[in-house]
Amino acid sequence: MKSLRALSRRSGLDKVDLYTRVTAYMLLWTAVFVLGLLLLVRQVRHEAPLPLVIVAPLLNLANGFFGHRFLRLAMDAYLHPGTPVPRHVVRYAAAAGAATVGAVLLAGATAGIGDLLPSMLGAALIPFAAGHCLVLPVRRIVLHQALLIALLGALVPLTGTNAGQTLAFLGIVLFFTGWLAVTIRLSLWVLGVVFEVRAARDVQTRLAVAEERLRFGRDLHDILGRNLSVIALKSELAVQLARRGRPEAVDQMTEVQRIAQESQREVRDVVRGYREADLRVELEGARGVLGAAGIDCAVDAPALDLPDPVRSALGWVVRETTTNVLRHGDARNCAITVREENGTVLLTVVNDGADGPGAGTDLPGRGSGLAGLRERLAAVDGTLEAGRGDGGTFEVTARVPATGTGPGTATGASAPPGMRGMPVTVPVVPVRTVAPAPEPPRSGPAPGKVPAPTAPGSPTSESPGSPSTPPLTKAVDR
């Protein structure tokens, strides 16, 4: 039962890989089993020499053992080019196959089993031919097949068969070995294509992540690069004005404060857009992910006009519950329902297979996924209920006001933990202007002081009534 559950939890690619390998092994051991039965027929037991009757079945088992090992390494080498197959494994498999074929020919010569000889030869050749057809190019495989048929054409007549029987026997042996080579090689080729598709999908995913990181970095550079350059210039101007005792330095620092707060708000908007979950996107993602895992996912979610905080909170519920369905229990079916009742949005996720260990996450010491969801929902005045139901099901229910009004929608430092990272409005603290101390009259700028530049057309530059303030002409590097 545990093995069946472990098999059901495998991915689709793992199941195809297991099916292909098990099929190849079954062909090999079926040939060994058939040859073992043919070596126990009455003609062989009563007419063949006693040492041959004892040794031939042992050689058949050794042929299956070394052929199985050779086939396993050959499949790995075919699916992962560059993986070598140890030479001693090939030698042992070839020696066991040759010894088994020799025992079959000797039995045919001494026991008079001409009708069974083609089947026995084909069964003796299959264990080595199964791996041989995967480690060599097609041309060399065809050449080796031709040499094998020529060698058997010289040895089979020694068993007492005539020319017509020999040709028929060789045709049967060629069919057995050729059919096996084509079947196994095509099966491994299909499996290799599936592996390549998965690798290409992984590369596509990594490229998408890298592209999103570049976009995020570009957005931050565009926001912070420009604003920090302006802050640096205005701070420099405020320092020089303050050294001269000019009251306009306060205006410049107020503008620096405003730009810094604006930059903080823009960065939070970028981060929120980068990390925020959307309900519709998460529903489609849950359907695709669960379907790929072999779980039947039914989604009933009509289009609802919901505020952004509500959509984001419910999107996080769908994302977390989908993860729990994949990680816990042994689910085969999952139902996600979204509906609006009396001004409240109700999201329900129900899945089966919650009887096994670790199936629930709403228990003490079982992780913090549902606790994090409760924190996020509390930010929009929502609630979350989770627990096991009847028939081995696990149900998660989230309720959120459709208007999205709640303690979590307020801004400021009093926002609950679920709203961390959301924009916070910081009031501008007025700066009291201090009258500059009188200074001795000067006919020009202080020695070593360079007049601070001012950006032409800047809304925060000095008024026309202050002709002694130098213009800001330093360019802003974006």
122: its two tokens: 């084909």
pLDDT at 335: 92
**Secondary structure letter of residue 328 according to DSSP:** S
Facing residues of 340 across strands? 345
Q: Of 92, 95, 114, whose CA–CA distance to 105 is shortest?
A: 114
pLDDT of residue 159: 77
Distance of CA 446 to the CA centre of its chain: 66
Q: Are 67 and 28 in contact (CB under 8 A)?
A: yes
State the pLDDT at residue 57: 92
Please give, one letter per residue, the 3-state secondary structure of 170-212. Answer: HHHHHHHHHHHHHHHHHHHHHHHHHHHHHHHHHHHHHHHHHHH
159 near 120, Cβ under 8 Å?
Answer: no
Select from 184, 56, 32, 26 the least CA-distant residue to 123. Answer: 32
Judged on CB neighbours under 10 Å (0-12, 13-18, 19+), 333 is: middle
Residue 266: name the closest of 228, 239, 213, 307 by CA.
228
Neighbours of 255 (CB within 10 A): 20
Q: Give the strand order in the sheet containing 394-401.
A: 296-300, 333-341, 344-351, 394-401, 383-388
Residue 464: per-residue pLDDT: 38
Q: How far apart are CA 350 and CA 355, in angstroms?
A: 14
> Which residues of the chain, if any, have pLDDT below 50?
357-367, 407-478
Predicted pLDDT at 33: 94
Instruction: Give pLDDT, residue 355.
Output: 61
d(CA 269, CA 339): 29
Q: Name the nearest CA neighbour of 240 among 445, 434, 452.
A: 452
Would you say the pTM of this structure is higher than 0.75? no
Of 64, 61, 177, 163, give the one whose Cα is nearest residue 119: 177
* HEC assignment per residue over 331-390: CCEEEEEEEEECCEEEEEEEECCCCCCCCCCCCCCCCCHHHHHHHHHHCCCCEEEEEECC
Q: Are strands 344-351 and 394-401 parallel, antiparallel or unpaired?
A: antiparallel
Whose CA is closest to 174, among 132, 134, 146? 146
Decide: helix, strand or coil at residue 477: coil
CA end-to-end distance (rounded Å), the chain: 64
Closest CA to 16 of 156, 198, 283, 263: 198
> What does the pLDDT read at residue 58?
93
The bridge status of strand 394-401 relative to strand 383-388 is antiparallel
Cα Rg of the chain (Å, integer): 40
- Give the pLDDT confidence score for residue 9 in this predicted structure: 66
